[in-house]
Amino acid sequence: MDLVTVGWIAVGWFTLAVLVSLVLGSIFRQVNAPLNEADVAVVAERQKVVHLRYRNPVQKRHAGPTRQRQEAVRQAAG
């Protein structure tokens, strides 16, 4: 491999690195842009839905009969 080929490879890698950094910079700039009020409302609503999903309100709604069944099992067991 001669010196000219090594130079062209180095120039190609440098050009590719600059282009990749420009593309990633524009992507990260868009991702980190400040939110407006509509976006904040959407994020808050999604967090509320996720919180309710993992809270399992169905079991809490039927806590009375479940507790009565647990008491019956406890009395029968001992």
Between the CA of residue 20 and those of 16, 27, 44, 64, what are the distances in Å? 6, 11, 34, 60
Position 56, amino acid: N
Burial class (CB in 10 A: 0-12, 13-18, 19+), 63: exposed
Tell me what pLDDT residue 44 has: 78
Largest CA distance in the chain: 90
- pLDDT tens digits, one per residue of 12-45: 999 999 999 999 999 999 888 777 788 888 877 7
Contact call for residues 9 and 1 (beta carbons, < 8 A):
no
* Residue 44 or 76, more confident: 44
Tell me what pLDDT residue 47 has: 72
Tell me what pLDDT residue 43 has: 78
Domain spans in the chain, listed from the N-terminal domain onward = 1-33, 35-78
Tell me what pLDDT residue 26 has: 93
For residues 33-58, give the mean pLDDT. Answer: 70
